[in-house]
């Protein structure tokens, strides 16, 4: 089980919030911007942050960011439909997948399998709720069908899954470096008798 001090959880939470604030609405990476980090934020918050209020807090944050973008930022309101409510279970699926992985965590190579399973399962459920909710309940598509939705899912899922893999891979590398540095410091203190 992965457990961190309150201080480390605060630092990680702050970094995740800043990353989402900086990237919300960026769906495609360019030379000027990183892809949206919302999926990764919910997944990594599930992995690293223990308080249960974190999930509703992050859901509120994403709503506030979207509301501000559409109200004052000049963003299109195309996605603001009754289907917007489907983001609640979509993002929650990623958070719960991260929580599940935190319970499987061990500092060994074999941790990559449950990490991959958690990311894939969380990503698929998130995409089904977010895109499925929008496709079937937004009113933006005439005569929606499961066949067309399946084709759209196959086409667009990789574009949304890639940023999740990118950000979680970066977090895993940072986690590895901090863990190795911490382990090295502990070993040095043990051998010197400090």
Domains of the chain by residue range: 6-192
Tokens 């070993």 sit on residue? 187
> What confidence tier does 143 reach under pLDDT thresholds 50, 70, 90?
very high
Q: Which two tokens stand for residue 33?
A: 């911007």
**Residue 194 pLDDT exceeds 60:** no
Q: Which residues contact 157 (CB under 8 A, 6 or more apart)?
A: 123, 124, 127
* 143 Cβ contact list (under 8 Å, min separation 6): none
Q: Look at 69 and 149; give whichever has higher pLDDT.
A: 149
Share of the chain above pLDDT 70, in %: 90
- Mean pLDDT in residue range 114-121: 97
Helix ranges (DSSP H) in 24-145 = 38-48, 54-71, 87-104, 112-137
Contact 62, 87 (CB under 8 A): yes
pLDDT at position 31 is 46
User: Which residue is listed with tokens 């990594």?
Assistant: 44
Q: Could you tell me if 131 and 151 are in contact, meaning their C-beta atoms sit under 8 angstroms apart? A: no
pLDDT for the residue numbered 87: 94
Q: What was the pLDDT predicted at 187? A: 62
Q: Indicate the DSSP class of residue 36.
A: P
Confidence of residue 137 (pLDDT cuts 50, 70, 90): very high
Confidence band (pLDDT; 50, 70, 90) for 97?
very high
Write down the pLDDT at residue 24.
81
Q: Is 49 exposed, middle or buried (CB count within 10 Å of its CB: 0-12, 13-18, 19+)?
A: buried
Neighbours of 67 (CB within 10 A): 12
Q: In sequence order, what are the residues at sequence separation of 6 or more whose Cβ sits closer than 8 angstroms to the Cβ of residue 22?
A: 34, 37
Compute the distance between CA of residue 67 and CA of residue 75 in angstroms, rounded to an integer.
9
Is residue 120 pLDDT above 50, yes or no?
yes
- How far apart, in whole angstroms, are the C-alpha atoms of residue 119 and residue 113? 10
Q: For residue 138, what is the DSSP state?
A: S
Which residue, chain included where needed, has tokens 């084709």?
A: 151
């Amino acid at each position: 089980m992965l457990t961190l001090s309150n201080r480390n959880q605060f630092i990680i939470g702050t970094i995740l919030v800043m990353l989402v604030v900086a990237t919300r609405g960026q769906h495609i990476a360019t030379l000027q911007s990183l892809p949206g980090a919302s999926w990764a934020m919910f997944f990594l918050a599930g992995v690293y942050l223990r308080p249960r209020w974190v999930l509703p807090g992050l859901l509120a944050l994403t709503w506030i960011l979207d509301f501000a973008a559409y109200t004052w930022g000049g963003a299109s309101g195309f996605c603001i439909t009754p289907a917007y409510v489907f983001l609640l279970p979509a993002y929650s699926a990623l958070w719960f997948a991260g929580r599940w992985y935190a319970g499987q965590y061990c500092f060994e190579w074999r941790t990559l399998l449950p990490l991959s399973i958690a990311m894939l399962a969380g990503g698929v459920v998130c995409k089904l709720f977010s895109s499925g909710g929008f496709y079937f309940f937004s009113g933006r598509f005439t005569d929606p069908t499961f066949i067309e939705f399946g084709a759209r899912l196959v086409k667009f899922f990789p574009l949304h899954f890639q940023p999740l893999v990118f950000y979680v891979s970066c977090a895993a590398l940072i986690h590895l470096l901090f863990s190795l540095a911490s382990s090295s410091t502990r070993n040095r203190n043990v051998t010197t008798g400090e």
